[in-house]
Amino acid sequence: GIAIVIAAGGCTSGRNSSADRPSAQASSRAPSFSPGAPGAGDPYFPTYGNGGYDVGGYDLALRFDPGTGRLSGTATITATATQDLSRFNLDLAHLTASEVTVDGRGATSQAEGNELVVTPAVGLLKDRPFTVVVRYAGVPQPLANEALGEGGWFRTADGAFAVGQPESASTWFPVNDHPSDKATFKLAMTVPDGLEVLSNGVPGRRTNAAGWTTWTWSEGAPMASYLATVAIGQYRITTGTHDGKPMIVAVPASMPAGDPAAKSLARTGEVTDFLATQFGPYPFDANGGVVVADDRLDFALETQTRPVYGDTWFDDGENTSVVAHELGHQWYGNSLALERWQDIWLNEGFATYAEWLWREHEGQATVAESFDRTYTKFKDWSQPTGKPGPDGIFDAAVYERGAMTLYALRRAMGDTAFAGLLKTWAAQQRDGNVTTTEFIAAAQQAAGGTDLDPVFQAWLFGTTKPPRP
Ligand code: ARG
Ligand code: ZN
């Protein structure tokens, strides 16, 4: 949506009598209200997210009944208008809103596919904060994505879990579901006594009433919406501290303590410490991980502060590579989130490189050897790392060739400058959103006089095998 701003200079013009104009908010211009766009404008996924506002925080108070699969509760969303807004969309899939208020006043809402269209009683002025409260309920279901697999809320025998990329959050709360709009996240989840609830960030108070327990979690650093997670069920939770921060690891209660998954996740602190020597200080206030045993979860996801791991990662024994990968994302992908999905190599190339670093630290293979093995066996050079296509965001061109791109960059600029770049990139863009263009500029600055353009052209955008760096 485009807001047309009319400077009303001095301002006693007749426009002020518009019925839409909020009387309490003095302004030196006449507002021009228009609807927020139904998408955030991502070229790969145009319908994801919405325009016209920027969320600051989500505060969810929910109840889940495992017997019926029903989720119900209230989402309180604090946001700021980025244009004069007559109405705006939230993403909400398969769930029904029963009552919506904006700044305490009743608002009109209407479901349109997987969007909730909210029309406040009065227009919302650009740059002003507002609060939306949505009361909603339903039986959540995951979102299908033919090319990328399903994501979102999955019901299980004893509970549920919510995990997915590039979409997930809209299956369990009303949200601006695109990583460009990061926000803080608070969850109070009420479940029957005897079940555990894991989510992002720091644990808060736990209370009981009439056979139900409310668990609270809060993530205070800005978070992309697909990084929100919850796992409800019978889990064995290990609570500790690491570096003075809560370290919370959970595995299915039925999993033996000596299971390779439990042993791998027990090394989360150790892996974090190593990665901090490479990438700079760990960016969040909590850490940990959750193992979910469910056939539908055949991947791991770097959900903020608390990655979720499908248990198949550990079928062949202890696997700390996947732990290094998901923890690497806490810097690259989470603290530094994408502005658009096309640039996902900034997440996956770096996380794969984190695996290489960890393997070297473990004495298994040097980074040069990992590069070599990957370079030798890599087959399809026709798909550019920096432009993998919407169906290709999880392809080897993104993960493996992304990590090879970083190694080629390291060879071009030298070990010392490259090691510095990894840290300054993470420090300067902490809690932000990043693009490939910004990374290229940061690399060029770190490289001094060496022209990196040929490296980026060949490794990110070329369609043939680049020479060995
Ligand atoms: N970002 C995840 C990882 O690095 C991969 C998620 C794959 N998602 C999917 N829908 N298959 O491990
Ligand atoms: Zn990854």
pLDDT tens column, 383-430: 999 999 999 999 999 999 999 999 999 999 999 999 999 999 999 999
Backbone torsions φ then ψ of 44, nearest 5 degrees? -75, -35
Beta-sheet pairing, 29-30 with 6-7: antiparallel
Show the CA angle centred on residue 157, arms to residues 155 and 160, nearest 5°: 30
Residue 351 CA, closest ligand 1 atom number: 4
Greatest Cα pair distance, the chain, in angstroms, is 75
Statement: residue 4 has pLDDT above 60: no
Say how many C-beta atoms besides its own lie within 10 A of residue 381's C-beta. 15
Q: What is the pLDDT of residue 8?
A: 33
Reading across the β-sheet that carries 115-119, which strands appear in turn? 88-91, 115-119, 108-112
pLDDT band at 83 (very low <50, low <70, confident <90, very high): very high
Statement: residue 9 has pLDDT above 60: no
Q: How far is CA 80 from CA 25, 402, 412, in A?
A: 14, 35, 43
Instruction: List helix spans (H) across 38-110.
Output: none
Considering only CA atoms, which residue is closest to atom 8 of ligand 1?
A: 165
Region label for 243, one of left (φ > 0), alpha (ψ between -120 and 50) or beta (otherwise): left
| pLDDT tens-digit series, residues 41-58 | 999 999 999 999 999 999
pLDDT band at 29 (very low <50, low <70, confident <90, very high): confident
Q: What is the pLDDT of residue 21?
A: 46
Sequence-ordered strand ranges (E) for 120-170:
129-138, 152-155, 160-163
Residue 166 CA, closest ligand 1 atom number: 10
**Cα 334 to ligand 2 centre (Å):** 11
H or E element in which residue 401 lies = helix 396-413
CB 299 near ligand 1, within 6 Å: yes
| In contact, 64 and 191? CB cutoff 8 Å | yes
Q: What is the pLDDT of residue 14?
A: 34
What mean pLDDT is reported for the chain?
A: 94
Asked whether the CA dihedral 144, 305, 274, 277 is positive or negative, the reply is positive
Statement: residue 345 has pLDDT above 90: yes
Considering only CA atoms, which residue is closest to atom 6 of ligand 1?
A: 301
Reading across the β-sheet that carries 96-102, which strands appear in turn? 105-106, 96-102, 129-138, 70-81, 53-65, 183-192, 212-223, 202-209
Statement: residue 344 has pLDDT above 90: yes
Residue 348 CA, closest ligand 1 atom number: 4
| AA letter at 142 | P
CB 381 near ligand 1, within 6 Å: no
Statement: residue 70 has pLDDT above 80: yes
Tell which residue, 69, 76, 90, 191, has the closest CA to residue 137: 69
DSSP state of 141: -
Confidence (pTM): 0.94
Q: What is the pLDDT of residue 27?
A: 57
Say how many C-beta atoms besides its own lie within 10 A of residue 405's C-beta. 23
Place of tokens 């139900």: 212
Instruction: Name the closest ligand to CA 322.
Output: 1
ipTM of the complex: 0.97
Residue 220: strand pairing partners: none
Beta-sheet pairing, 308-310 with 287-292: parallel
Residue 301 CA, closest ligand 1 atom number: 2
**Cα 431 to ligand 1 centre (Å):** 21
Q: What does the alpha-carbon distance between residue 178 and residue 91 come to, in Å, rounded to a whole number?
A: 10
Statement: residue 351 has pLDDT above 70: yes
| Portion of the chain with pLDDT greater than 90, in percent | 93
Q: What does the alpha-carbon distance between residue 405 and residue 375 come to, in Å, rounded to a whole number?
A: 10
Statement: residue 74 has pLDDT above 60: yes
Statement: residue 11 has pLDDT above 50: no
Beta-sheet pairing, 160-163 with 183-192: unpaired
Instruction: Name the closest ligand to CA 303.
Output: 1
Statement: residue 276 has pLDDT above 50: yes
Statement: residue 10 has pLDDT above 50: no
| AA letter at 120 | P
Asked whether the CA dihedral 359, 362, 365, 371 is positive or negative, the reply is positive
Q: What is the pLDDT of residue 235?
A: 98
Considering only CA atoms, which residue is closest to atom 7 of ligand 1?
A: 299
Mean pLDDT of 214-239: 98
CB 462 near ligand 1, within 6 Å: no
**Cα 52 to ligand 2 centre (Å):** 30
CB 394 near ligand 1, within 6 Å: yes
